[in-house]
Amino acid sequence: MRSFSEYDPKVVALYFFSVTGLAMFCSYPAITAMTLGGGVLYYIVRNRRKRIKSHLFFFLLFLALALINPLISHNGATVLFVMNDNPVTLEALLYGINSAAMVVGVLYWFRSFTEIMTSEKLLYLTGTLSPKLSLVLSMALRFVPLFRRQSAKVSDAQKAMGLFKEDNVIDDVRSNMRIFSVLITWALENGIITADSMAARGFGTGRRTQFTNYRMRRWDYLFLAADIVLMTLCIWAAASGAYTFEFYPMIRYRGSAEHKIIGEAAYGILVLLPVIVELEVNIRWKYLKSKI
């Protein structure tokens, strides 16, 4: 009994790239709507009532993106009204809503991606693909908090020595320049020390190991198989022209109805897969608690 966030990082990463990849390169309204709906639903299932302000931000972003297009683009045959001698068309408005839904939906999915894929899991993935890239990434992530702490130490030391006053802009600029110079020198020295330490411990002389070993289990394989099958159906539908939709100069759909139904059903199930997993885990957990 594992939630979707506890699945193997390779499976999770492939799933997110499958969903967002098709959404970003497809302007078909049904796909866009399912991307937004699935992203919002999974975000709510994961966070419940937490981070409500995020929904407000995404809603305002959706409104802004939806209204910008009809104001700057005047293509389309159906004129709704004229504003400042510029026609506002139905096609431009619908295209703006579709584009806004795509952007916000992808952002919702990437927000969930950043919550699930921690730095440890990202290092695991990059280490599998490229050990050198994983090393550079891990060192960069390590130096961010170190830089922050060292900067605070140097700033406090300068304040204690009376080298600048906070209410003086010129002194503040000079102090920041001195702090930056000290940090660069400290970073170079720390880099040399880290390289010598790694060489002394035999880095590069043998096969690298991961800090955390993830194993593919039965549910990982089942989820991966479902992801591949559903994504293959979506790609087949897109290649057959089932997702061909035109907004300009008139709204028009071109494609096979049979292929469209199969493609929409496959993508609908695809975006609901993590929600189904989370709901199944919650229901089973409540059932087990009731047996105690």
Helices and strands in the chain, H and E counts: 9, 4
Does 24 have pLDDT greater than 70? Answer: yes
Whole-structure pTM value? 0.73
pLDDT of residue 152: 85
Q: Which of 24-33, 37-46, 130-139 has the lowest mean pLDDT?
A: 130-139
Report which of 145, 167, 186 is spatially closest to residue 159, judged by C-alpha positions.
167
pLDDT of residue 126: 73
pLDDT of residue 225: 93
Chain centroid, CA 203 distance in Å: 33
Helix (H, G, I), strand (E, B) or coil at 241: coil
Tokens describing residue 283: 């229901």
Domain range list for the chain: 4-122+216-290, 130-200
Does 55 have pLDDT greater than 70? Answer: yes
- 67, 59 Cβ separation under 8 angstroms: no
Does 104 have pLDDT greater than 90? Answer: yes
Q: What are phi and psi of 216, to 5 degrees?
A: -75, 125
Name which residue leads in pLDDT, 204 or 12. 12
pLDDT of residue 266: 92
pLDDT digits (tens, 9 = 90+) for 213-241: 677 888 889 999 999 999 999 999 888 88
Written as one string, the DSSP assignment of 128-193 is HH-HHHHHHHHHHHHHHHHHHHHHHHHHHHHHHHT---TT-HHHHHHHHHHHHHHHHHHHHHHHHH
